[in-house]
Amino acid sequence: MNKTKFVSLTALAIFVGVASQASAGPIDVFYTVSGSPGSYDLDFSVTNNMLAWPTQNVYFFAVRLSVDQITGNPAPFSNNAPMDWNPFGYGGSATEYNNTWIAPVPPFAPAFLLPGITHSGFVVHIPDLTAPTSVAWSAISISPGDVHPYTGGGNFITQANPGFEGLAYPFTVPEPNAVGLLLLGLTMLCTTARCGTKQERLQE
């Protein structure tokens, strides 16, 4: 294997590694943390990635935290307290989600969280001394009239009204040092590739 081909494969491996970290599930959830020990606010963002099923509208969202103290409701979602949500009877886990939001669905209201859309503002205030490093979540979507039943797998309830669960993690911006090292590495790879090409031409 010549140097140019080796460098190309190395660069491809780096790209695939970065892309795999950004891969998305049917629904992705992350959160930001603000406040101080004993008084934190967690602001959850929900992304609907079901692009192949364009009418699947997320209308229910829930998280499991130390307390049920919702302080943010992105319209048309409303605080569904004191109603907890346990999806065990529908094929999900036995997790007791104690912070829940629900929105009216078409034709009673316009669709709000369709595929390709991200919404934040699902805020919970917690008295924890340490902010959580992950949070269990659940979400449910629906395709009115069963126009686009979800067939991507990994859900519970039904394809027309699929439920999902997962873990949310704090949103973090890549550190400048990490980005700089990645750019430096790519620059070195490109330089090596050019040098290798020149040497191959001289040897021909």
What average pLDDT does the segment 16-35 reach? 73
Predicted TM-score (pTM) of the model is: 0.74
Which amino acid type is present at position 197? T
Higher pLDDT, 38 or 13: 38
Higher pLDDT, 152 or 107: 152
| CATH code of the domain covering residue 37 | 2.60.40
CA distance 150 to 155: 9
Evaluate whether residue 84 is within a structural domain: yes
Identify the domain containing residue 99 by its residue range. 27-172
pLDDT-based confidence at 9, cuts 50/70/90? Answer: very low
Evaluate whether residue 203 is within a structural domain: no
Evaluate whether residue 18 is within a structural domain: no
CA distance 79 to 59: 12
- When mean pLDDT is compared across 113-117, 146-150, 165-169, 183-187, the lowest value belongs to 183-187
Domain count across the chain: 1
CA distance 80 to 57: 18
Condensed to tens digits (0 to 9), the pLDDT of residues 77-115 reads: 999 766 899 999 999 999 999 999 999 987 777 788 999
What average pLDDT does the segment 63-67 reach? 97
Evaluate whether residue 17 is within a structural domain: no
Condensed to tens digits (0 to 9), the pLDDT of residues 13-23 reads: 333 343 333 45
CB-count burial class (<10 Å; 0-12, 13-18, 19+) for 15: exposed
Evaluate whether residue 58 is within a structural domain: yes
Evaluate whether residue 198 is within a structural domain: no
What average pLDDT does the segment 144-163 reach? 91
